[in-house]
Amino acid sequence: MNTEIYIISGFLGAGKTTLIQKLLKEAFIKDKVVLIENDFGEISVDAAILKSSGIQVKEINSGCICCSLSGDFVKALKELLKRFQPDKIIIEPSGVGKLSDIMKACLDPSIEPLAKVKLRLTVADVKRCKMYLDNFGEFFEDQIQNADTILLSRTENFPDKVKDAYELVKSLNDHALILSKPWDQITSDEILYPDMMHSTYGKHKVLSHEHRYHHELHEHKEDCHCGHHGSHDHEEGCHCSHHDHENKCGHNHSAKDIFDTITIQTTRTFNMEDLKTVILNMEQKAHGTILRVKGIVQGTNGYINLQYLPGDIQITRSAVHGDMICIIGRNLNQQELIGLFNGK
């Protein structure tokens, strides 16, 4: 039997890892699952967290799957399929990865006989999606436009943002199913088998997955406006958003061109208050824009899980051990940030 591939994409901090934890617990509990993690730092914080779920995790770090590692990714995927013969593979691309690139790899002729993409899901944060679209549209749009299910996150915290977020993602992709229920009210079945379920928000034309992939793979004629061009030849006059720029790295920009990532290993023991102070100083010292920070560090009473998004800091106890912090942003001052976390 073919392995099923589930791609869980979404911009930085949208909730991909949280969703994967939910799926593993609720829906995939009896399955043999391998998870492919492509985190943005040198060490994957998400992989460490997800390994604690007891599943096989393959980390692909330091770069986006799509660009520098594209050949390696296909190779790694093939090896995993042959070695583990899993029922399911979950791929969590980096928050600044492009879903179209992951799809391209999964449709590689060497993968197709072994595994089929069952779901392309993008998580979109209702609070930040407009900001991400305005500032990092190339990545955000690609994730939204290539999804067949879009799951809105943080809807319970920001109910007033749900309608606008819904309209925004729908304007970018009107063939996807958009799910907007708070996650504690939505079952994994509703997420994974949406063809049988209904969304809470508006009516959707729901295509079966089979139909969607067929749609993706059909031949694109000159006047085709389907928005899902994957592998046709792009002429000069073509305005679709999926050009294969074969002369360069495979697409317009890779995450490395746009984002700075800093990985800090620290032996420092933090108390909660220290860490809060560091975070408060961080935005000032960074000089540029910090988009996401996450890490696991030693605390005075056990390990601490740090999750930061602009305007949102979460510091909780961690069952998983670690000594690493990853920061992603733009125009960051690396030395200042390393010094800050190391107490210098």
Ligand X SMILES: Nc1nc2c(ncn2[C@@H]2O[C@H](COP(=O)(O)OP(=O)(O)OP(=O)(O)O)[C@@H](O)[C@H]2O)c(=O)[nH]1
Which residues, numbered 27-56, are part of the site for ligand X (CB under 6 A)?
46
As measured in angstroms, the least distance from the Cβ of 8 to ligand X is 8
Part in contact with ligand X (CB under 6 A); list of ranges 13-21, 75-83, 99-107, 173-181: 13-21
169 contributes a contact to ligand X by CB under 6 A: no
Give the C-alpha separation, 168 to 189, whole Å. 25
Q: Which of 139, 183, 213, 270 binds ligand X (CB under 6 A)?
A: 183
Q: In sequence order, what DSSP letters do the residues of 21-80 get, joined into one string? A: HHHHHHTSTTS-EEEEE--SSSS-HHHHHHHTTT-EEEE--SS-TTTTTHHHHHHHHHHH
As measured in angstroms, the least distance from the Cβ of 210 to ligand X is 28
Could you tell me which residues come within 8 angstroms of residue 100 by beta carbon, excluding any fewer than 6 positions away?
66, 142, 145, 146, 230, 242, 251
Q: Which residue is nearest to ligand X (CB)?
A: 15
Part in contact with ligand X (CB under 6 A); list of ranges 104-112, 130-138, 139-147, 151-159: 151-159
Q: Which of 41, 63, 86, 95 binds ligand X (CB under 6 A)?
A: 95
Size of the site for ligand X (CB under 6 A): 18
18 contributes a contact to ligand X by CB under 6 A: yes
Are the C-beta atoms of 138 and 253 separated by less than 8 Å?
yes
Q: How buried is residue 293: exposed, middle or buried, by Cβ count under 10 Å (0-12/13-18/19+)?
A: buried
188 contributes a contact to ligand X by CB under 6 A: no
308 contributes a contact to ligand X by CB under 6 A: no
Are the C-beta atoms of 120 and 101 separated by less than 8 Å?
no
- Nearer of residues 81 and 290 to ligand X, judged by Cβ: 290
9 contributes a contact to ligand X by CB under 6 A: no
Q: Which of 70, 100, 149, 153 binds ligand X (CB under 6 A)?
A: 153
- Nearer of residues 81 and 150 to ligand X, judged by Cβ: 150
Q: Which of 4, 6, 7, 14 binds ligand X (CB under 6 A)?
A: 14
* Residue spans of beta strands (DSSP E) within 180-323: 260-265, 269-270, 289-299, 302-309, 312-318
What does the H/E/C string look like for 254-285?
CHHHHCEEEEEECCCEECHHHHHHHHHHHHHH
Interaction site with ligand X (CB under 6 A): 10, 12-18, 46, 95, 153-154, 157, 183, 292, 294, 307, 314
